[in-house]
C-alpha cells in the first residue's frame, strides 16, 4: 500500500473530520446567526446547471418560489456542518414553496454522490454541479459556504457568508415570511 493511496483515502477523510471537530470548537462561541439583508433587493444572476441526475435546473424557472442557493463542497468543514440544518429547514418549508439548490463547486458526480450517500439523513434537495466555478464567479462568491435567499420575484433579499443554523426559529421565520 503506497503513501499516496493511504493519504488520499481514509486519512484524508479523517483530516476533514478532525478539522470539522476543530472548526466546531472554534465556531461554537455563541456566534451570531443573522442573514444580511440585501437592500435594495438585487436581480439574481443566471444559474443554469446540471444536477447529479443529469437534469438541467434553471433558476429562472423557479420564479414564484422562495429559493435558497447554497454554494458548497464536500471537503469544506463549515459546509458539511450546516447541511443538516439546511435540510431540516427544507423539510419544514418545502410544502410552502421553498426550494433549496445546493451548488457544489469543482467536484465530480462520483465524489458528491459518495459523500451524500454516507449522510444520514441524506438531503434530497437538488444538488447542482459547478465544475469550473463559472457560476460561483458570476454570483460573486469568494468563500464557501455562501447562501443566497431569493424571493418569489427572483430577487436576492438575503445573503449569508459562512455557515448558519438554518432551522433556527429566527431564520425559519424570515424565510417563511417570504413565502407569503
Chain residues 18-47 in contact with another protein, contact rule CB under 8 A: 18-19, 22-23, 26-27, 29, 31-34, 36
Rounded to whole angstroms, what are the CA distances from 47 to 26, 86, 147? 33, 20, 14
The residue within the footprint of another protein, chosen from 87, 99, 148, 164 (CB under 8 A), is 164
Residue range at the interface with another protein (CB under 8 A); choices 48-56, 58-66, 120-128, 156-164: 156-164
Neighbours of 132 (CB within 10 A): 10
Distance in angstroms (rounded) separating the CA atoms of residues 21 and 84: 15
Residue 148: name the closest of 84, 111, 103 by CA.
103
Neighbours of 85 (CB within 10 A): 17
Phi, psi angle pair for 130, to nearest 5°: -110, 75
Chain residues 66-105 in contact with another protein, contact rule CB under 8 A: 73, 75-78, 105
Phi, psi angle pair for 51, to nearest 5°: -85, 180
For residue 142, state whether it binds another protein (rule: CB under 8 A). Answer: yes
For residue 107, state whether it binds another protein (rule: CB under 8 A). Answer: yes
Residue range at the interface with another protein (CB under 8 A); choices 42-50, 92-100, 149-157, 159-167: 159-167
The residue within the footprint of another protein, chosen from 48, 143, 168, 177 (CB under 8 A), is 143
Number of H helices, E strands in the chain: 6, 8
Residues that bind another protein (CB under 8 A): 1, 3-4, 6-16, 18-19, 22-23, 26-27, 29, 31-34, 36, 73, 75-78, 105-108, 131-133, 142-144, 159-164
Amino acid at each position: 500500500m503506497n503513501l499516496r493511496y493511504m493519504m488520499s483515502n481514509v486519512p484524508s477523510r479523517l483530516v476533514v473530520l478532525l478539522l470539522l471537530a476543530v472548526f466546531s470548537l472554534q465556531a461554537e462561541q455563541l456566534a451570531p446567526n443573522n442573514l444580511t439583508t440585501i437592500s435594495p433587493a438585487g436581480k439574481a444572476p443566471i444559474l443554469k446547471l446540471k444536477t447529479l441526475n443529469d437534469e438541467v435546473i434553471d433558476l429562472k424557472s423557479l420564479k414564484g418560489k422562495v429559493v435558497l442557493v447554497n454554494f458548497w463542497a464536500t471537503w469544506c468543514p463549515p459546509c458539511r456542518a450546516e447541511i443538516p440544518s439546511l435540510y431540516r429547514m427544507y423539510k419544514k418549508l418545502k410544502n410552502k414553496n421553498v426550494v433549496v439548490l445546493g451548488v457544489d463547486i469543482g467536484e465530480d458526480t462520483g465524489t458528491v454522490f459518495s459523500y451524500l450517500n454516507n449522510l444520514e439523513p441524506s438531503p434530497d434537495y437538488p444538488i447542482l454541479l459547478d465544475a469550473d466555478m463559472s457560476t460561483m464567479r458570476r454570483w460573486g462568491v469568494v468563500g464557501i459556504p455562501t447562501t443566497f435567499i431569493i424571493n418569489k420575484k427572483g430577487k436576492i433579499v438575503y445573503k449569508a457568508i459562512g455557515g448558519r443554523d438554518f432551522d433556527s426559529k429566527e431564520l425559519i421565520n424570515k424565510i417563511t415570511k417570504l413565502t407569503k
